[in-house]
Amino acid sequence: MAMSTMENLYRQYKGPVFRYLYRMSGDYHLAEELTQETFYRVLISLKGFRGESTLSTWLFRIAFNVYTVNLRDLRRRHNLPLDLDIPDDGRSGDPAHALEDAENHHLIKLALQQLPAGYRTVIVLRAFEGLSFEEISVVLNKSPSTTRVALFRARQKYRQVYNQLAKGVSDLLITK
């Protein structure tokens, strides 16, 4: 493979792969490292790509594998951080609305981080990266119907965790 082809592949997919790994790990610097590891593995194994899935699905499968291999080390080193915000693009607006949005985003990200990795992966790939059930099933090495069930259960668990967190926040505000 020509180096320019690998450079083009990296330019095209580094953003989505980074976002996936960032949302999964909650650590900006770790996501950068895992993104680099993912593309290193892509470089090594690109000749073995058989085209049985789309290139993006194959890349997310490699990223998923890189993440899961590093998950044990992640847990051993520290708890997953709560700050999952991808750097702001400089948007401004009403301060009260911005504060409310920030609190809501924090609850969303905190709830997402409390989900098991498999549930988090299904939600992130579907909701944030827009992958189809078929593509997610390839990433997870499961059938599309199993992936649909996993997403349904992940959403249920997410709602449960989010509602508990939101109730905790509102209880704190009421008692103050």
Note the pLDDT of residue 84: 40
Note the pLDDT of residue 63: 95
Walk along the chain (176 residues) in steps of 10 and give the mean pLDDT of each run: 75 95 89 94 86 87 90 52 41 60 79 90 89 90 92 93 82 52
Domain 3-84+92-175 has CATH 1.25.40.80: no
Note the pLDDT of residue 20: 94
Side-chain half-sphere exposure of 162, counting CA atoms within 13 A:
14
**CA 8 from centroid of its chain's CA atoms:** 23
Mention every residue, 6+ apart, whose C-beta is less than 8 A from residue 92. 98
3-25 and 28-45 helices, crossing angle to 10°:
140
* Residue boundaries of the structural domains of the chain: 3-84+92-175
Note the pLDDT of residue 14: 95
d(CA 105, CA 107): 5
Q: Residue 5's CB: how many other CB atoms inside 10 A? A: 10
CA angle at 9 for the pair 119 and 147, rounded to the nearest 5°: 20
Note the pLDDT of residue 46: 83
